[in-house]
Amino acid sequence: MHKVLIVEDDATFRKMLTSLLLSRFPSMAVNGASEGSEAWKKISNTPPDLIFMDIRLPGESGLVLTRKIKDLYPDITVIILTNHDLPEYREVAHQNGAEYFLSKGSTKPGEIVELVESLTV
């Protein structure tokens, strides 16, 4: 079974992504966090296999949190999923260890499912 953590301060978006993942991957364990310190506690207690990370979070930025995660848990795959689809954000996301960068505005649900399928096989 794969464990996923969605780090997203928008509760509606977090629930939508959770529903999407569970509809396609019913045995997946999907957890959520609305900000960095909550995410860090969940990661420390039960490291997930995959994290969907927003960039703008209350407190610590998703980019800084990604670097901390990758330093201690290099095997966790981090997907940045954000409204802030700018080249400089993409570059910094990759520099901080994120493997993927998706735009909330242009990424279709099917593309998210395909990416998760490719990572969980």
Each residue's pLDDT expressed in tens, for the chain with a length of 121 residues: 699 999 999 999 999 999 999 999 999 999 999 999 999 999 999 999 999 999 999 988 999 999 999 999 999 999 999 998 889 999 999 999 999 999 998 999 999 999 999 997 6
CATH number at residue 83: 3.40.50.2300
Q: Count how many domains the chain has.
A: 1
User: Residue 43 phi/psi, 5° resolution?
Assistant: -65, -40
Question: Which residue has tokens 């927003």?
Answer: 54
For position 19, what pLDDT does the model report?
Answer: 97
Question: What are the tokens at 76?
Answer: 């966790």
Q: Is residue 3 part of a domain?
A: no
Element (H, E) at 77: strand 77-82
pLDDT at 77: 97
Q: In which domain, by residue range, is 89 found?
A: 19-119
Nearest C-alpha neighbor of 47 from the set 36, 39, 56: 39
